[in-house]
Amino acid sequence: MREIQMREALREAMQEEMRRDDRVFLMGEEVAQYNGAYKVSQGMLDEFGDRRIIDTPIAELGFAGIGVGAAMNGLRPIIEFMTFNFSLVAIDQIVNAAAKVLSMSGGQFGAPMVFRGPSGSAGTLGAQHSQVFESWYANVPGLKVISPSTPYDAKGLLKAAIRDNDPVIFMESEQMYGDKGEVPEGEYLIPIGVADVKRAGTDITLVSYNKMMKVALASAEALAAEGISAEVIDLRTIRPLDHTTILNSVKKTNRLVVIDESWPYGGISSEIAYRVQKDAFDYLDAPVVRVNGSDVSMPYAMNLVQAYLPSVEKVVKAVKEVMYIKK
């Protein structure tokens, strides 16, 4: 099977859906003439023209609102944020319009659209450009939230998101656009709300998503060298969350560590820990442990960035804690 980059997989998803459905269009900063800030939309202006690949001013609130209005009137917009940090300017349109219009209109209007772009840290970008917003948007009824870790998942999930009749928040990672992975030539969809077991194991369950899956899988390798078998689950979708896959794994391994780049207070890891202790309490042989980003604003210096983020060393330490291994 061919290997392509994450940016190419995302591009293919958008191209295929735009060829299939002329209601789909892409709007955002630098998506057209510049071929995308991260070259995700490279070549799409040439194929689809400036009525469907639309450059915008630096005005997230404005073009997000245009997208919501277009979706309410029968189109299927893809709104690209150069980074989800900038989506805070547009959060009123996302949370108070897109997420609520179906309910508040009594089903008369929906907002079938995708808000996509990178989330999370991407090196030394400072506190205002390194935030993780999956848990923020997952807290809002009416929104679906997707955060893939591989080109294969990204393509299949983005195609499903574009076809979905609800507004979807599609979180990517600047640090993963160049990552390569196997993606088949033919069309395929991945259903929203289904997690994936990336590695089977028997001793401990590791749960993560997006680029922290790299940490989770590297941790599983390090643990295997010490005779510890880790099962690694990629959430892929944050809302709706696939609790069944997590619970089934914990019932097998009896231990859980959640790896989450976002802040620890009231986040995704907290929600998972709550559901596991509620629905699989009798199967747990140790408390659930979370490995999160630090509970501070992201620093700028690289050594502090590394100290802030989850790491293999932190995960291995957490696993040994729940396995009561004193080292």
Show Cβ contacts of residue 139 under 8 Å, excluding neighbours closer than 6 positions: none
Question: 206 in helix, strand or coil?
Answer: strand
Say what the pLDDT of residue 260 is: 97
Question: Using H for helix, E for strand and C for coil, what is the string for 100-162?
Answer: CHHHHCCCCCCCCCEEEEECCCCCCCCHHHCCCCHHHHHCCCCCEEECCCCHHHHHHHHHHHH
- The continuous run of DSSP H or E covering 94 comes out as none
Q: How many CB atoms lie within 10 A of CB 285?
A: 11
**CATH numbers and ranges of domains, the chain:** 3-182 (3.40.50.970), 196-322 (3.40.50.920)
243 has catalytic annotation: no
pLDDT digits (tens, 9 = 90+) for 258-315: 999 999 999 999 999 999 999 999 999 999 999 999 999 999 999 999 999 999 999 9
Query: Which two structure tokens, joined as six digits, stand for 308?
Result: 């802030």
pLDDT digits (tens, 9 = 90+) for 239-270: 999 999 999 999 999 999 999 999 999 999 99
pLDDT digits (tens, 9 = 90+) for 34-43: 999 999 999 9
Q: Give, to the nearest 10 degrees, the angle between helix 268-279 and helix 243-253.
A: 60
Long-range CB contacts (< 8 A, 24+ apart) of 52-55? 52/18, 52/22, 52/24, 52/25, 52/26, 53/25, 53/26, 54/25, 54/26, 54/27, 54/28, 55/28, 55/29, 55/30, 55/31
Question: 87 in helix, strand or coil?
Answer: helix
Question: What is the pairing mode between strands 53-55 and 76-80?
Answer: unpaired
Q: What is the pTM of this model?
A: 0.96
pLDDT digits (tens, 9 = 90+) for 217-243: 999 999 999 999 999 999 999 999 999
For the chain, what is the mean pLDDT? Answer: 97
In this prediction, residue 324 has a pLDDT band, given cuts at 50, 70 and 90, of confident
pLDDT digits (tens, 9 = 90+) for 49-69: 999 999 999 999 999 999 999
Comparing 145 with 326, the larger pLDDT belongs to 145
Selecting among 17, 60, 172, 271, the annotated active-site residue is: 60
129 has catalytic annotation: yes
Over residues 168-176, mean pLDDT: 97
Q: How far apart are CA 269 and CA 126, in angstroms?
A: 24
Question: 327 in helix, strand or coil?
Answer: coil
Selecting among 8, 129, 134, 271, the annotated active-site residue is: 129
How many residues are there in the chain? 327
Say what the pLDDT of residue 144 is: 98
Say what the pLDDT of residue 326 is: 73
Tell me: pLDDT of 16 over 90.
yes
* Helical H segments across the chain, by residue range: 6-20, 44-48, 60-72, 91, 101-104, 134-138, 151-163, 212-224, 243-253, 268-279, 302-308, 312-322
Say what the pLDDT of residue 327 is: 61
Q: How far apart are CA 10 and CA 68, in angstroms?
A: 22
In this prediction, residue 123 has a pLDDT band, given cuts at 50, 70 and 90, of confident
Query: Judging by beta carbons within 10 Å of its beta carbon (0-12, 13-18, 19+), is residue 146 exposed, middle or buried?
Result: buried
